[in-house]
Chains A and B, each alone.
Chain A
Amino acid sequence: VRRAAAGVVIAALASVPGWASLFWVNVGTQVLIFAVFAMSLDLVLGYGGMPSLGHAAFYGAGAYACALIALRVTDGNLLLMLAAGIVSGAAVAALIGALALRARGVYFLMLTLALGQMLWALAERWTSVTGGSDGLFGVSRPALPGGVGPALGPGRNYYVFTLVLAVAAFVALRLVVASPFGRTLAGIRESEQRSRALGYAAFPHQWLTLVIAGAVAGLAGALATLFNGYANPEQLHWTTSGLVLVATILGGTRSLVGPALGAAFIVLMQTGISSLSERSGLVIGLSLVAVVLFLPGGLVGLARRVPALRTATRRG
């Protein structure tokens, strides 16, 4: 049943370019990119139990690396651009993780926030490499490797490309969560002491989780650069970390699907519904306050209370 449901959802998503206007297809691409970003945070926050408020560092690193490779090294090697995003996201996560994992809970949160802001400050000031507050722009979408298939330039084609990678990221994250590694991670989240007594050290598992999530977030950053044609400091700023945290919590953690729904909500508020985008902060802020006060499980938590939906969303 679950596979069938997943198939229906993917088919529905894939059909979007067929009937929607280009504006909504582009909104859809942004939703998918933000969903990949939010799912990677769910691995850290939901499954790993690490409250990160510096997740934008990985995303922004991926975005900048992709833009740098595109502008300085190669023009038109898509694989290299995506790989640069993934590798740099993972590398930044490895570095920040090594520092921040010395602390737990709210201290971890403050450390990730502060270290992420350090990267933001670097991007703002190191103008010769990062373009300063303007960022790096002028990235064009290259063709698929080998020149096979349709060009990625048109918005509809790029939507399909993003959808394929988003589904791949979702599957990869599910595999990680369901693997023995994922089970150990859950054990550490529930009781670090007990896991240690069983011989599972917390640090290597949590660190590797951050690196994996950093790679996925870096992929999202690279996809964003290819979509926008630029990378800018806003992508590294802590409010971006905050927004992806909000998306993850609004949707409901530890489900991967929930954060993707939350991402759709945020993107729709910010860009989709133009009458709202002026006051999007107000709307998102108020929804967040309402969810924290009245709906602790997020959207997925709400769905779990309805028996018919329970089987479809049961935690994996």
Chain B
Amino acid sequence: VRQVLQLALDGLAFGGLVFLLAAGLSVIFGLMDVLNLAHGSFYMLGAYAGVSVLQATGSFWLALLIAPICLAVIGALMETVLFRRVYGQGHLSQVLLTFGFTLIFVDLVRWGYGPETRSIAAPSALGGVTSFLGVRYPLYRLFVIGVAAALAVTMIVFWRRSRVGAILRAAVVDRQMVGLLGIDVNRVFTLTFIAGPYLSVYPGMDDVVLVLALVVVVIGGLGSIEGAVVGAVILGMANSFGTFYLQQFAVSLVFAVMAVILLVRPTGLFGIGR
């Protein structure tokens, strides 16, 4: 039982992390009808911005605060300068444009920071191990689960209950509204910097992030926050239990689960299918 609880917690932590990555991708697609292949690259830029702030100030919390702001600025710039020009041209143009930026960003990061892996140490307050229901567990992972859960609840409540949420939901249905709303959603996924201590930081990390986020979004359905939550938990569980029972074939299990879900529901569990 302890083993199972341990694995379930691992799954939740990983799922929570992936939710933080996938929520932005899903919301941007749902709201703005943009499939952003540079999503992982944004995340990578955020992580490197965090590394820089951390080196300059030595404060994890300051890095957590500043990196998302940098990202929001970059996102806003790209949206206003570039994406607006291709909204009418279909998904393929967006895919190509954002793929172009993945190539550019990886090269720039490799140029500026070098190819070696950096790691961000968790702040000492979260560094320890705690006892949870009889299982000794790293505090930082519990922190990730907590943040992801809080964000998920906030987003769902905001989405379902608030006035702005209602307007946004209307915008998903009627895309003419989207132009009025612009880039506000970018703020959502900038929180992803929190994943820093979890994944190591290196040029090329953007691929891993993008594919994980895509899998979650494919399982859950594009444009649905609930879907992203469920998809992330499924992926996290498949990953942690798969790693334990199947070792190196865990990745294949993750994709097999995705394939089965798609066979049943091609647009994902909560997909709006258009």
B205, chain A: closest CB distance, angstroms: 13
Set of chain B residues within 8 Å of A249, measured between Cβ atoms: 92, 96
Q: By the criterion CB–CB under 8 Å, are A292 and B86 in contact?
A: yes
- Scoring B residues 61 to 82 as 1 if CB is less than 8 Å from chain A, else 0, what string do you get? 0000000000000000000001
A300, chain B: closest CB distance, angstroms: 16
- Scoring B residues 85 to 101 as 1 if CB is less than 8 Å from chain A, else 0, what string do you get? 11001011101110111
Set of chain A residues within 8 Å of B92, measured between Cβ atoms: 51, 249
Partner of B252 from A103, A110, A121, A242 at Cβ < 8 Å: A121
Q: Is there a chain B Cβ closer than 8 Å to A8's Cβ?
A: no
A195, chain B: closest CB distance, angstroms: 20
The chain A residue with its CB closest to the CB of B107 is: A281
Partner of B218 from A110, A242, A293 at Cβ < 8 Å: A110
With A115-B255, A281-B107, A293-B86 as contacts: A239 and B101 at CB distance below 8 Å? no
Set of chain A residues within 8 Å of B248, measured between Cβ atoms: 125-127
Q: By the criterion CB–CB under 8 Å, are A282 and B104 in contact?
A: yes
Q: By the criterion CB–CB under 8 Å, are A288 and B207 in contact?
A: no
Q: By the criterion CB–CB under 8 Å, are A245 and B99 in contact?
A: yes
Stretch of B142-150, B159-167, B259-267 with 4 or more beta carbons under 8 angstroms from chain A = B259-267
Q: By the criterion CB–CB under 8 Å, are B266 and A103 in contact?
A: yes
With A111-B218, A281-B103, A282-B104 as contacts: A118 and B111 at CB distance below 8 Å? no
The chain A residue with its CB closest to the CB of B210 is: A238
Interface residues of B in 237-274 (CB under 8 A from A): 248-249, 251-252, 255-256, 258-259, 262-263, 266-267
Cα distance A93–B151 in the bound complex, in angstroms = 39
Cα distance A80–B162 in the bound complex, in angstroms = 64
The chain B residue with its CB closest to the CB of A124 is: B251
Partner of B211 from A106, A117, A293 at Cβ < 8 Å: A117
- Scoring A residues 65 to 104 as 1 if CB is less than 8 Å from chain B, else 0, what string do you get? 0000000000000000000000000000000000100110
Q: By the criterion CB–CB under 8 Å, are A286 and B100 in contact?
A: yes
Set of chain A residues within 8 Å of B101, measured between Cβ atoms: 285, 289
Partner of A110 from B86, B108, B217 at Cβ < 8 Å: B217
B184, chain A: closest CB distance, angstroms: 22
The chain B residue with its CB closest to the CB of A49 is: B92
Interface residue SS majority, chain B: helix
Centre residue among B92, B215, B222, B256 by max chain A CB count within 10 A: B92
Interface residue SS majority, chain A: helix
Q: Is there a chain B Cβ closer than 8 Å to A160's Cβ?
A: no
B38, chain A: closest CB distance, angstroms: 10
Partner of B100 from A51, A107, A285 at Cβ < 8 Å: A285
Q: Is there a chain A Cβ closer than 8 Å to B17's Cβ?
A: no
Interface residues of A in 282-311 (CB under 8 A from B): 282, 284-286, 288-289, 291-293, 296
Q: What class of interface size applies to chain A in its complex with B?
A: 35 or more
Q: By the criterion CB–CB under 8 Å, are B103 and A106 in contact?
A: no
Interface residues of B in 201-215 (CB under 8 A from A): 207, 211, 214-215
A33, chain B: closest CB distance, angstroms: 21
With A99-B263, A281-B107 as contacts: A114 and B255 at CB distance below 8 Å? yes
Partner of A109 from B95, B106, B217, B259 at Cβ < 8 Å: B95
- Scoring B residues 168 to 208 as 1 if CB is less than 8 Å from chain A, else 0, what string do you get? 00000000000000000000000000000000000000010
Q: By the criterion CB–CB under 8 Å, are B251 and A121 in contact?
A: yes
Set of chain B residues within 8 Å of A106, measured between Cβ atoms: 35, 91, 95, 222
Cα distance A292–B106 in the bound complex, in angstroms = 20
Partner of A296 from B89, B211, B256 at Cβ < 8 Å: B89
Cα distance A246–B97 in the bound complex, in angstroms = 10
A235, chain B: closest CB distance, angstroms: 15
B220, chain A: closest CB distance, angstroms: 12
Q: By the criterion CB–CB under 8 Å, are A288 and B96 in contact?
A: yes
A111, chain B: closest CB distance, angstroms: 7
Q: By the criterion CB–CB under 8 Å, are B107 and A111 in contact?
A: no
Set of chain B residues within 8 Å of A286, measured between Cβ atoms: 100, 104
Set of chain B residues within 8 Å of A99, measured between Cβ atoms: 259, 262-263
Q: Is there a chain B Cβ closer than 8 Å to A7's Cβ?
A: no
A252, chain B: closest CB distance, angstroms: 13
Partner of A114 from B93, B218, B222, B267 at Cβ < 8 Å: B218
New A-B pairs, 4, CB < 8 Å, besides A111-B262, A238-B207, A282-B104: A102-B262, A113-B214, A291-B96, A293-B86
15 A-B interface contacts by CB (under 8 A): A51-B92, A51-B95, A106-B35, A110-B218, A114-B215, A114-B255, A118-B259, A246-B96, A279-B111, A285-B100, A285-B102, A285-B107, A289-B97, A292-B97, A293-B97
Q: Which 4 A-B pairs have the closest CB atoms?
A: A285-B103, A118-B255, A288-B100, A281-B107
